[in-house]
Amino acid sequence: MQRSTDRILTTHVGSLGRPRDLLEMLREREHGRPYDAAALDARITGAVAEMVAAQVDCGIDVVTDGEMSKVSFLTYVKDRLAGFDTGRGEKLMPPSWQVEIDRFPEYYALYLGKYTEQVSPMTTMVCTGPVSYAGHEQLKTDIANLRAAIAAVPAAAVTEAFLPSTSPSGFGRNEYYATHAEYLSAVAEALREEYLGIVDAGFLLQVDDPWLIEYLSENPATTPDQRRRDAELHIEILNHALRGIPQERIRLHTCYGLNHGPRIHDIDFRDVAPLMLKINAGAYSFEVANPRHQHEWKIWRDIPLPDGKILIPGLLGHATNYVEHPELVADTIELYAGIVGRENVIAGADCGFSSRASFQPEVHPTVAWEKFRALSQGARLASERLFH
């Protein structure tokens, strides 16, 4: 993993708004209606090329495929893991999301009603048999598409590339294994094949792990001690899945579940960061631009960053169409660099800009590109102050 040795590098979390024609093709496939599989494959390949070229044009150094092939950052695994029943239609609603919705029902009735035009609903996968990885061909295609897209832009324009993959938690419910721990271990072992495939292909692996925070968040059905134990188990199992993979090839992304809302139930990041650092990754991506967490740069005065680790603070909000000013981006980079060292900071975003394939992502794609330009401009400003 490249470090910010002579300038502040830029990256983001992964998902980007899919082109409308691709969304329409994905929707037909997801609803079991006739579609042209070859045409869909070709459109995904083309969309990845477009997304990489656009990232480069905006000045993003560490790029990805925009998750063009996936219906969401999480439930894409329905097509890659065997042993699950995906047809029950059970709504996927984490407890912390429900706590917030119950506190502000009028607001969320309006909010959730606006964002209903999804390619595929977020539903819970139910484990009904032995879990195994069945996504080798899909992963192979993702890798080939990203390689081709990078080859089509100037070599010096891309510092590195990453591919996201989900953590073992969050998308499923167990009806097969004797214990929850046994179930999670089986899922983690299956996903390890995807993790290894990404790293063996020469890309950075980004593990998308909002469930670390979810385990720790307010939940009326559990106690704080139980939540802490659940989080520790999650970390242990994820680290086992990552065993043997060099930490410098792994980025971890964690974030809070709800997007544009009051967010008053968000757990303090001070209570998350020490556990996050236990996950065997080389870099950690987390929310900062979210106004509930902008003040939390101060926690790094008290929480030591282990040697060799990198922070990727989110400097772009993924739930607002305001474009951050480059001066604000630069100032925030300097805050983090002043505490953990300039070489240990890469400028990132709070979360993905279309974590679900949607016709109405919260941030319009044209605005997302402007945010990326602001990130790049801010990183240049910070670089001038920090390196020159």
**Are the C-beta atoms of residues 173 and 124 closer than 8 Å to each other?**
yes
| Residue 317 CA: distances (Å) to CA of 10, 59, 220, 321 | 15, 18, 29, 8
Does some domain include residue 8? no
pLDDT band at 114 (very low <50, low <70, confident <90, very high): low
Kindly give the residue spans of alpha helices, DSSP state H, lying in the chain: 20-30, 37-58, 95-103, 105-114, 136-151, 180-200, 211-216, 224-241, 273-276, 326-340, 365-387
pLDDT in the model for residue 91 = 84
Statement: residue 7 has pLDDT above 70? yes
Which pLDDT belongs to residue 388? 86
Comparing 355 with 112, the larger pLDDT belongs to: 355
What's the domain count of the chain? 1
Q: 81: which 2 tokens?
A: 């893991």
- Whether the Cβ atoms of residue 1 and residue 249 lie closer than 8 Å to each other: yes
Provide the pLDDT for residue 24. Answer: 97
CA triple 324-328-330, angle to 5 deg:
115
How much is the pTM? Answer: 0.96
88 has a pLDDT exceeding 90: no
Tally of residues, the chain:
388
Q: What is the dihedral of CA 189, 190, 196, 197, to 10 degrees?
A: 180
Express each pLDDT in 263-302 by its tens digit: 999 999 999 999 999 999 999 999 999 999 999 999 999 9
Q: How confident is the model at residue 222 (pLDDT cuts 50, 70, 90)?
A: very high
Between 71 and 96, the higher pLDDT residue: 71
Residue 117 clears pLDDT 80, i.e. is over it: no
Does residue 174 lie within any of the structural domains? yes
Q: Is residue 245 part of a domain?
A: yes
Query: Considering the domain boundaries, does residue 15 fall inside one?
Result: no
Residue 133: which region, alpha, beta or left (left: phi > 0; alpha: psi -120 to 50)?
beta
pLDDT, average across residues 53-73? 97
Full residue range of the structural domain in which residue 51 is found: 20-387
For residue 308, is it left (φ>0), alpha (ψ between -120 and 50) or beta?
left
Please classify residue 365 by burial: count the beta carbons closer than 10 Å to its beta carbon, then call 0-12 exposed, 13-18 middle and 19+ buried: middle
Whether residue 161 lies inside any domain: the answer is: yes
Characterize the bridge pairing of strands 125-133 and 81-85.
antiparallel
Q: Percentage of residues in the chain with pLDDT exceeding 70?
A: 99
- Check whether 232 has a pLDDT greater than 90: yes
d(Cα 357, Cα 374) in Å, to the nearest integer? 24
Alpha-carbon distance of 147 to 161, in angstroms, equals 9
pLDDT value for 96:
84
- Give, to the nearest 10 degrees, the angle between helix 224-241 and helix 180-200: 40
Helix (H) or strand (E) holding 164: strand 160-166
Structure tokens at 248: 């410098």
Check if the beta carbon of residue 300 is closer than 8 Å to that of residue 327. Answer: no
Residue 10 lies in a domain: no
Q: Which two tokens stand for residue 162?
A: 């990453």
For the ranges 13-27, 160-174, 248-262, the lowest mean pLDDT is seen at 248-262
Q: Is residue 359 part of a domain?
A: yes
pLDDT at position 259 is 78
Looking at residue 111, its pLDDT comes to 84
The larger pLDDT score, comparing residue 386 to residue 117, is at 386
361 domain residue, yes or no: yes
Confidence of residue 233 (pLDDT cuts 50, 70, 90): very high
CATH number at residue 174: 3.20.20.210
3-class secondary-structure state, position 298: helix
Task: Give dist(CA 258, CA 95) in Å, integer.
Answer: 11
Mean pLDDT (whole number) for 228-245: 97
**CA 150 from centre of chain:** 21
Question: Is residue 115 scored above 60 in pLDDT?
Answer: no
In angstroms, rounded to a whole number, what is the distance separating the alpha carbons of residues 294 and 352?
18
Using left for φ > 0, alpha for ψ between -120 and 50, and beta otherwise, residue 95 falls in alpha
